[in-house]
Structure 1
Amino acid sequence: MTAIEYVSLEVTDPAAAKAFYGEAFGLGKMVDFRASQAPTTGFRGFTLSLVVSQPSTVDSLVGTALKAGATTLKPPKKSLWGYGAAVQAPDGTIWSVATSSKKDTGPQTREIDDVVLLLGVADVKASKQFYVDRGLAVTKSFGSKYVEFDTAGSPISLALYGRRAAAKNVGVAPEGTGSHRIVVGATAGPFTDPDGFVWEAV
């Protein structure tokens, strides 16, 4: 079974990025940083999501991210699916923080239940087949719209969404060019997927 052990964000200042993420989310070894000056503009084609248990946890994580220097893309609010928000880190990476619960059921915590790498792809069906061919099993699929893969036991989950839908979900325009500025470290790989996302072996 494929496990995603970490994602490496390519940033202009690794020390500053490490300080930001330590203060904002405390993700430890799941996210590391590499120096890069690769050109990139607009939406980079992916988001990282923190899935938590209740709204107060969303508020806490978003609050520390903003205090550390993130900017708001979507302020915390209730929706049909629960409660969530989206922010952009100083390095440009977009993060969503969400829960399926619309009300608190216990004391506020900062516990993160799941980290999800959501790739916004040009062709969901084609990308799904690409990953299936590399040994990833599908756990949830909605035709050409959305796919989740089985990464049980992995610190990071993987999902696919159409690029426009992924951008709309976090309140940004779908257009973008240049580097994705992310490398996925996993037991599958190395390879580059149809949308240019780079995976390396661990």
Structure 2
Amino acid sequence: MTSIDTITLEVADTAVAERFYAAVLGSDSRVRVRASQDPTSGFRGFSLSLIVAQPADGDALFEAAVDAGATVLKPAKKSLWGYGAVFQAPDGTIWKVATPNKKNTGPAAPRYDDIVLLLGAADVAASKQFYLDHGLTVEKSFRTMYVEFASEPGAVKLGLYRRRALAKDAGVAPDGGGSHRLTLVGASEPFTDPDGFAWETSSITAES
């Protein structure tokens, strides 16, 4: 295993989720939904980011999400690292639109270059070693706070962040329980990581 092929968001209403993601992500096949009634509450321990080239593109995506039914968690603003905003999809998934650039260089368009999945880890060092043992390679690492793994072109990028810090970045309380409502696809064989995030093989998802 070297990267995530797709992610599956487990939602209560697939029709609502599919309409929402079609409006925001278009036909991006890396994000899928499937029905689930597994109990979940509060922060689910992860967030997804749409990485854009400039602030105007982030604004366009953010507005498209809100128009499609998203809830604003953090309005768009500049920061030391760049520009971003956070919203929550109708299914409860937390999304961030972000760019390291603070100035626009062209016309606005609701487009993004990458999708990044950040998993909230209770122990970043332990989870990092777990993923190294499962074949991933570290691309960036900031002590025991943040880890970003290398990925193949076009794949969803994976990172680890302290759970409480990730919740703070998203603008929500860190408490939560029950199902993550998320499955990662791309493993050579199914497994569950130290923080309870489940991985499937691509063949399992294709058959479901």
- Pairwise TM-score range, normalised by the shorter structure: over 0.9
CA drift at 1:24:
2.1
CA drift at 1:196:
0.4
Query: CA distance change for structure 1 residues 49 and 188 in 2, over 3 Å: closer, same or farther?
Result: farther
Hey, what does 1:159 align to over in structure 2?
159
Deviates more, 1:27-36 or 1:42-51: 27-36
Amino acid at match of 1:136: L
Superposition misfits of 4+ residues, deviation over 6 angstroms: none
Give the share of equivalent positions with the same residue, in percent: 59
Is 1:85 the counterpart of 2:90 in the alignment?
Answer: no
Give the conservation status (yes or no) of the 8 Å contact 2:83–2:99.
Answer: yes
In structure 2, distance between residues paired with 1:102 and 1:173:
28
Query: CA distance change for structure 1 residues 188 and 112 in 2, over 3 Å: closer, same or farther?
Result: farther
Hey, what does 2:206 align to over in structure 1?
none
In structure 2, distance between residues paired with 1:62 and 1:189:
36
SS at match of 1:4: coil
Could you tell me which runs of 5 or more consecutive residues in structure 1 were left unpaired when the two chains were aligned: none
Question: What's the CA shift string for 1:77-124, capped at 9, x where partnerless?
Answer: 111111100000000000000001111011212221110010011000
SS at match of 2:166: helix
Aligned length: 202
Amino acid at match of 2:33: F
TM-score by length of 2: 0.94
SS at match of 2:7: strand
Amino acid at match of 2:148: E
Amino acid at match of 1:177: G
In structure 2, distance between residues paired with 1:189 and 1:135:
12
Hey, what does 2:199 align to over in structure 1?
199
Amino acid at match of 1:23: A
Hey, what does 2:63 align to over in structure 1?
63
Amino acid at match of 2:62: V
Amino acid at match of 1:51: I
Question: What's the CA shift string for 1:154-199, capped at 9, x where partnerless?
Answer: 4200000000010011101111000000000114441100000000
Is 1:30 the counterpart of 2:30 in the alignment?
Answer: yes
Structural mapping, 1:1-202, within 5 Å? 2-26=2-26, 28-202=28-202
Q: CA RMSD in A?
A: 1.1
Deviates more, 1:110-119 or 1:191-200: 110-119
Give the conservation status (yes or no) of the 8 Å contact 1:51–1:113.
Answer: yes
Give the conservation status (yes or no) of the 8 Å contact 2:114–2:154.
Answer: no
Could you tell me which runs of 5 or more consecutive residues in structure 2 were left unpaired when the two chains were aligned: 203-208
In structure 2, distance between residues paired with 1:53 and 1:27:
20
TM-score by length of 1: 0.97
